[in-house]
A and B are shown apart, each in its own frame.
Chain A
Amino acid sequence: GENVEQHPSTLSVQEGDSAVIKCTYSDSASNYFPWYKQELGKRPQLIIDIRSNVGEKKDQRIAVTLNKTAKHFSLHITETQPEDSAVYFCAASPDQTGANNLFFGTGTRLTVIP
């Protein structure tokens, strides 16, 4: 099955700086790559996703890039704010079952220091 690796496991940045989280995947059939933000004790919430037919997608301060050849994708958060502090998960979906199943990375704990 699909194997998703995520780095770093923890990341601390000063408020206003940028944060980058990187993920790699193993299954070349994967074609959907969402990113979820999870605050302590809360549900994972989708913040951005990208499909394999595009290389980059932006939504205000958040962007995701995808390199299908290298099988890696990254989350970029600019002008970080304290409320960005959370655990971020990447995921990949090979969709071989037709059921949109997701395989998650192990998460990155982002701390934004005021």
Chain B
Amino acid sequence: NAGVTQTPKFRILKIGQSMTLQCTQDMNHNYMYWYRQDPGMGLKLIYYSVGAGITDKGEVPNGYNVSRSTTEDFPLRLELAAPSQTSVYFCASSYPGQIYNQPQHFGDGTRLSIL
């Protein structure tokens, strides 16, 4: 199992450009998440998905969009890049919890700079 795979690892964008951060997992996890981590801070949830075709907003969704057409893939789209979106982006996945949560497994992250 490769686990959670994110591409690209690094990217520099100009203000106003758009891009898609890719995330795929091979653990057959229903739940997937996108977080951003600003320097010296904890992770903030951007969007999440409980299964193919179902997505919902997290704490900081503005400026982002997601889709979930398959169980494996959960891409994150930035439409009009802004300097405030400079951050490290982590994708994560987990099994659904029957009664209690199941652990989330993280990818290696995408370091994004908007200049």
Contacts and interface: CB of A to CB of B under 8 A. Distances in A.
A, B co-complexed: yes
A99 B90 contact: no
B96 A100 contact: yes
Nearest to A45: B106
Interface residues of B, number: 27
Interface stretch (A11-19, A66-74, A77-85, A90-98): A90-98
21 contacts: A4-B42, A6-B42, A32-B97, A43-B108, A44-B90, A44-B106, A46-B104, A49-B103, A51-B100, A91-B42, A95-B101, A97-B56, A98-B50, A99-B31, A100-B104, A101-B45, A101-B48, A101-B58, A103-B45, A107-B40, A107-B42
Interface residues of A, number: 30
Interface of A: 1, 4, 6, 31-32, 34, 42-46, 49, 51-53, 89, 91, 93, 95, 97-107
